[in-house]
Amino acid sequence: MTLSDASAVMGAAVPLDPALLTRADRAELLRYMTMMRTAEERALSLYKQGKVPGSFYDGRGQEAISVGAAFALSPRDRLCILHRDLGAHFVRGVTPDRYLANYMGRADGVTGGKDGNLHFGDRARGCVGMVSMLPDMALVANGMALAMKMRGEARVALTFFGEGSTANGQWHEAMNFAGVQRLPVVFVLENNRFAYSTPNELEFAADPVERAEGYGLPGAEVDGNDVEAVFAAVHAAVERAREGGGPTLVECQTMRMHGHGAHDDMGYVPAELLAKWEARDPIQSYAARLLEEFDFADEEVERITEEVRAYVAECAERALASPMPDPALAREGVFADRWEPLGDGAAPWSGWAEPTAPQPIDNRVERRAA
Amino acid sequence: MPELTYLEAISDGLRTEMRRDESVFCLGEDIGAFGGAFKVTAGFAAEFGPERVLDTPLAENAIIGAATGAAIEGMRPVCEMQFADFIACGFDQLVNVAAKLHYRQGQSVPLVVRLPSGGGFSGGPFHSQNPEAWFLQAPGLKVVAPATAADAKGLLASAIRDPNPVCFLEHKGLYRHVRDEVPAGEYTVPLGKARVAREGGELTVIAYGSAVPSALAAAEALEEDIEVLDLRSLWPLDAEAILATARKTGKVLIAHEATRACGVGAEVAALIGAEAFEDLDAPIRRLTAPDVPIPFSPTLEAAVLPQLDDVKEACGELLAY
């Protein structure tokens, strides 16, 4: 059997108009990717210190996908974010303290201790939290898109899933329903080469992006380690959906650089495969590109890294100071008393005509009300 | 007050809510031009348009998932399972996504799943089930099972207005055989409230759905002082009403068409045993289907589903205890 390797990587299928991204946008893309990497490294150290109940999951190596995709969304768009996509939460305005507190089961985590790791969605920022069953959220994203379509709104729902999800029957249900109804939904597929330990070759006979046409929707394949390529493909898909053109499947080729969880030593991954992808690290390669192509100075890139590190360290202190939830809360909240709308997320891309509140590096998030 | 069949009352309730609130819409298989397998939505597509009476692909998870997402975005979806049995194909979205979202994320999911359930017409093992107990093991779901036309309308309206996922079990055997007075226009019956369907002092039959008319018929035929409590809501259970009637009569028969083990009857019996033991004059009895699939052949099916004579016999035994 031949294992998938870096040769699967494609060039950007959707050309990016360079004017779409300003210099400040590019700094933001680097900053959010760095924030995801730094926060996940901090969470991993907390796990190793025994402060994280359960296991630990991250998206190392996949930072360009969640950041690039979420960056293309407007405030009123909606997301279902998965467990390798921390960057999307940060783009929408979730702060690392709430992410770290969630991992530790603390009261100030996004779910207040009701659910763990990345099983959260910040309602106030237009997100619906994932469940472990995959790709269940694709069907929920369809429903949000259906509501938008029924009301004639120029809005979009976006969801992520891995290539492992495409083997499940619900993936077929989701693609088919979206295609039939021409829903304003964007499916971002992260092909990170492995579903836990199962390689692509044992997952499917036909690559998922090739199946898109069979559902009556376009598929785009991009280099998932190139944040601007992801942004370009998702931006095009979002625009298309917003204009009534229906759904798009964007397959991002990437590599899961850590195990499925921290308990997984990845003994099944050939060292040379990891080495190939290590050389294509999305953050380092983007930083290099900013220096070479976009006239960034070394100090600028270093300053972003240093600011993010200091910010995440500060967030970690806040998370560690957060109390464990009151045990009495375990019996509360099964039923709702009333329906409330999701809030709108941050949309830091300069391309949005409607200005959004800037996201200062030291922004604090109010303590989550119990 | 007009008399409607149980089926007409469901249509009337759904139509009334769709006229009242434009965020209410239906989705399911063959519900549009065809009007649904049982014609609950006959004429709806002409009145409300195909978008609000949405014919879906044959994909139950897609239906429940779409309803979940639409509900989060402010719509009030009413899903039709063509038969209650097919909720098994949409179960993941219902119990793992919709039911848990409020507990996990504070996210209300106001959706209704209509479940044509029950046997008695040779539907066989896949078109006759009473799956209500499945839902009781999934915290976050409300479950209702009306027995009268008026309740069918009023509980459906309340289910649609409720901010939580509600499983609405409509018994197919009642569709055209139950007819009673139904208030015209907007009408709601609160969730979580049982109804004393017949007053009595010697024995209570606690029932819901198709077992309610059976219990009433048995009480009339026996000419005994039997009370019948119609649960109407299976979750949340009306513990107050259950305990009140158990204390009042001291003898309780719990009757339902669904199978026995870990069923609604088991939960009701446990509640009474724990809270009203001192008031009981006889052991709590259950009359249910045995723990077998619903067979096809009429003689086999009749041997499985509780019959009127079974109710009379069980009542007689308890009264004589």
* Minimal CA separation from A49 to chain B, in Å: 26
Q: Please, what is the Cα angle at A88 between A129 and A337, to 5 degrees?
A: 30
Residues in chain B: 321
8 Å CB contact between A85 and A59: yes
Whether A339 and B108 lie within 8 Å, measured CB to CB: yes
A135 in B contact zone (CB under 8 Å): no
Same fold, B3-181 and B195-320: yes
Query: A233 in a domain, yes or no?
Result: yes
Nearest by CB: A139 against B25, B61, B100: B61
Tokens of A253: 């080729």
Query: A259 in a domain, yes or no?
Result: yes
pLDDT, position A367: 34
Task: Check whether A238 has a pLDDT greater than 70.
Answer: yes
B177 among known catalytic residues: no
At A159-174, the pLDDT tens digits run 999 999 999 999 999 9
Mark residue A344 as left, alpha or beta (left: phi above 0; alpha: psi -120 to 50; beta: remaining): beta
8 Å CB contact between B264 and B208: yes
- Provide the H-helix boundaries in A196-297: 200-203, 208-211, 227-242, 271-278, 282-293
Q: What is the ipTM of this complex?
A: 0.97
Tokens of A159: 């969801």
8 Å CB contact between A277 and A297: no
Query: A339 in a domain, yes or no?
Result: no
Whether B57 and A115 lie within 8 Å, measured CB to CB: no
Tokens of A367: 């303590």
Q: Which residue of B has its CA nearest to A369?
A: B106
* Contacts with B50 from chain A: Cβ below 8 Å: none
* Contacts with A119 from chain B: Cβ below 8 Å: 104
For B112, phi and psi rounded to 5 degrees? -120, 135
Contacts of A45 (CB under 8 A, 6+ apart): none
CATH code where residue A192 lies: 3.40.50.970
B182 in A contact zone (CB under 8 Å): no
Q: How many domains does chain A have?
A: 1
Q: Which residue of B has its CA nearest to A131?
A: B97
Instruction: Collapse the DSSP code of A105 into the 3-class scheme (helix H, G, I; strand E, B; otherwise coil) and give the result.
Output: coil
A123 in B contact zone (CB under 8 Å): yes
At A49-89, the pLDDT tens digits run 999 999 999 999 999 999 999 999 999 999 999 999 999 99
Q: What's the DSSP call for residue A206?
A: S
Task: Check whether A360 has a pLDDT greater than 50.
Answer: no
Strand order in the sheet with B203-207: B195-198, B226-230, B203-207, B252-259, B285-289
For A62, phi and psi rounded to 5 degrees? -115, 15
- Please give the CATH topology (third level) of the domain spanning B195-320: Rossmann fold (3.40.50)
Closest by Cα among B131, B56, B63 to B94: B63
Instruction: Collapse the DSSP code of A80 into the 3-class scheme (helix H, G, I; strand E, B; otherwise coil) and give the result.
Output: strand
Which residues sit opposite B228 in a β-bridge? B198, B205
- Other C-beta atoms closer than 10 Å to the C-beta of B313 total 14
A331 in B contact zone (CB under 8 Å): no
Secondary structure (H, E, C), B136-197: HCCCCCEEECCCCHHHHHHHHHHHHHCCCCEEEEEECCCCCCCEEECCCCCCCCCCCCCEEE
Query: A263 in a domain, yes or no?
Result: yes
Q: Domain ranges in chain B? A: 3-181, 195-320
* Minimal CA separation from A301 to chain B, in Å: 36
Closest by Cα among A236, A262, A260 to A248: A236
Q: Which residue of B has its CA nearest to A180?
A: B57
Closest by Cα among B210, B93, B205 to B152: B210
Q: How far is CA B275 from CA B114, B164, B206, B240, B243, in A?
A: 33, 29, 16, 10, 7
Tokens of A83: 């467990």
* Contacts with A170 from chain B: Cβ below 8 Å: 61-62, 65, 92-93
- Average pLDDT estimate for A303-308: 98
Whether A147 and B97 lie within 8 Å, measured CB to CB: no
Nearest by CB: B69 against A131, A142, A339: A142
Q: How far is CA A36 from CA A195, A202, A312, B86, in A?
A: 22, 30, 10, 42
- The terminus-to-terminus CA distance of chain A in angstroms comes to 52
At B229-241, the pLDDT tens digits run 999 999 999 999 9
**Which site among B104, B112, B113, B164 would you substitute to test the A interface, given the most A Cβ atoms closer than 10 Å to its Cβ?**
B104
* Contacts with B96 from chain A: Cβ below 8 Å: 131-133, 136
**Which site among B51, B73, B108 would you substitute to test the A interface, given the most A Cβ atoms closer than 10 Å to its Cβ?**
B73
B282 in A contact zone (CB under 8 Å): no
Query: A23 in a domain, yes or no?
Result: no
Closest by Cα among B135, B89, B314, B310 to B233: B135
Q: What domain range includes position A181?
A: 11-16+52-94+115-311
Angle between helical axes of B211-222 and B308-320 (0-180°, round to 10) = 60
- Average pLDDT estimate for A126-153: 97
Tokens of A235: 């931006």
At B95-109, the pLDDT tens digits run 999 999 999 999 999
Sign of the Cα pseudo-torsion (A177, A180, A182, A188, in order): positive
Out of 3.40.50.970, 3.40.47.10, 1.20.1560.10, 2.60.420.10, the CATH code matching B3-181 is: 3.40.50.970
A134 in B contact zone (CB under 8 Å): no
Q: Which residue of A has its CA nearest to B73?
A: A144
pLDDT (tens, 9 = 90+) of chain B, 321 residues, equals 899 999 999 999 999 999 999 999 999 999 999 999 999 999 999 999 999 999 999 999 999 999 999 999 999 999 999 999 999 999 999 999 999 999 999 999 999 999 999 999 999 999 999 999 999 999 999 999 999 999 999 999 999 999 999 999 999 999 999 999 999 999 999 999 999 999 999 999 999 999 999 999 999 999 999 999 999 999 999 999 999 999 999 999 999 999 999 999 999 999 999 999 999 999 999 999 999 999 999 999 999 999 999 999 999 999 999
Instruction: Collapse the DSSP code of B58 into the 3-class scheme (helix H, G, I; strand E, B; otherwise coil) and give the result.
Output: coil
A185 in B contact zone (CB under 8 Å): no
Residues 129-168 of B with CB under 8 A from A: 139-140, 142, 163-164
Instruction: Check B102, B127, B177, B256 and give the catalytic one.
Output: B127
A145 in B contact zone (CB under 8 Å): yes
Work out whether strand A185-191 and strand A248-253 pair parallel, antiparallel, or are unpaired.
Answer: parallel
Query: A257 in a domain, yes or no?
Result: yes
DSSP B75-126: -EEEEE-SSGGGGGGGHHIIIIIITTHHHHH------EEEEEE--SSS-GGG
Whether A139 and B68 lie within 8 Å, measured CB to CB: yes
- Average pLDDT estimate for A218-225: 97
Nearest by CB: B97 against A123, A131, A336: A131
Element (H, E) at A321: helix A298-321
Q: What is the mean pLDDT of chain B?
A: 98
pLDDT, position A1: 35
Query: A2 in a domain, yes or no?
Result: no
Task: Check whether A258 has a pLDDT greater than 70.
Answer: yes
